[in-house]
Amino acid sequence: MEKVFEIYIKTTPERLWEAITDGEMRRQYNFGMGVASDWTPGSRYEMSHPAANGVLGKGENLEVDPPRRLVQSFNALWSDDVRREGTSRVTWEIEQVADSCRLTVTHDELREDANDELYGGWPMILSGLKTLLETGESLTTPGSLLYSGASSAA
């Protein structure tokens, strides 16, 4: 199964690449999770949050072509249900369009009927990324605050 998400962001490819690969910037729009890697082909990456117990996601950087393309294997670890789904793949493609960028995120190699926790957050993540780069502010939807400590328990 494959899920494709596309968004236009008024920014440069270099700034967009930085927002995707910088751990602290990523934390601001990715449910409070930062990312750590050396961003070389074949290197590992991990997603984590200080309030969570352990690593929330990890994988390998399969292709690294700044500031145009990043392909990663992806293992979600934030719950037993998603952990059982195994490895999928996420491809980030950046294309400059006038004074903006088209960002296409393809999440594939998902099994048919995969748990929607694996891909259901992409619209919120990408909206948060757009908001951050265009306004300098964080999106404050409940899901975007999941690990931030700012949301209240329902």
- Sorted by where each begins, the domain ranges of the chain are 3-144
Q: Does pLDDT of 143 surpass 70?
A: no
Q: Does pLDDT of 150 surpass 50?
A: no
Considering only residues 147 and 47, tell me which one the structure prediction assigns the higher pLDDT.
Answer: 47
Average pLDDT for the chain: 91
Where b means 16+ CB within 10 Å and e means fewer, 35-63 reads bebebeeeeebbbbbeebeeebbbbbbee
Query: How sure is the predictor about 91, in pLDDT bands with cuts at 50, 70 and 90?
Result: very high
Please give the pLDDT value at position 151. 38
Please give the pLDDT value at position 145. 58
Query: How sure is the predictor about 50, in pLDDT bands with cuts at 50, 70 and 90?
Result: confident
Q: Is the distance from CB of 52 to CB of 77 less than 8 angstroms?
A: no
What are the angstrom distances between the C-alpha of 133 and each of 28, 50, 53, 137, 147?
A: 10, 24, 29, 8, 21
Choose which CATH entry (3.30.70.260, 3.40.50.800, 3.30.530.20, 3.40.30.10) describes domain 3-144: 3.30.530.20
Against a cut of 0.75, is the pTM above it? yes
